[in-house]
């Protein structure tokens, strides 16, 4: 793939691509800080996964809706729900088998998938209340 083929995606989805890079960095190389004030919060790491992937999928929805005049729900389902969940599964496998400082967990994958599902809800709300301009070609 040459640069001309990739450039439109970089222009349309810069924040989503940054989110991907940040998630990979945090998942592979970053060690979570030991914060005493958060030790008592049950499932704090699962909440972190939930919020991180919910935000990531919301960013994908935002960038898709702002750069397309017509909504293709099948594309959004693949790129804003299935692909992030698959990426999450791959990252959990990488953590389990390719790192010594991280562990892959099924509950992390479940929290990520739940966050992605939340992202769908946020995306639908954005579509309804933010991206409803009737002057847009093909409607939204």
Average pLDDT rounded to a whole number, residues 96-120: 93
Q: 101: pLDDT confidence band, cut at 50, 70 and 90?
A: confident
Q: Tokens 């967990």 correspond to what residue?
A: 105
Q: pLDDT tens across 26-82, in order?
A: 988 876 666 677 677 788 889 999 999 999 999 999 999 999 989 999 999 999 999
Instruction: Please state the pTM of the whole predicted model.
Output: 0.85
Q: Smallest Cα–Cα separation from 27: which of 108, 91, 113?
A: 91
């Amino acid at each position: 793939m040459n640069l001309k083929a990739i450039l439109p995606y970089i222009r349309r989805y810069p924040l989503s691509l940054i989110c991907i890079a940040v998630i990979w960095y945090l998942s592979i190389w970053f060690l979570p800080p030991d914060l005493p004030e958060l030790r008592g919060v049950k499932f704090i790491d699962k909440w972190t996964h939930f919020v991180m992937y919910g935000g990531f999928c919301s960013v994908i929805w935002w960038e898709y809706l702002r750069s397309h005049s017509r909504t293709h729900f099948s594309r959004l389902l693949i790129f804003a729900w299935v692909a992030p969940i698959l990426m999450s599964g791959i990252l959990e496998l990488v953590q389990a088998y390719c790192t010594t400082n991280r562990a892959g967990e099924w509950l992390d994958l479940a929290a990520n998938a739940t966050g992605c599902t939340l992202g769908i809800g946020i995306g639908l709300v954005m579509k309804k209340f933010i991206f409803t301009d009737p002057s847009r070609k093909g409607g939204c």
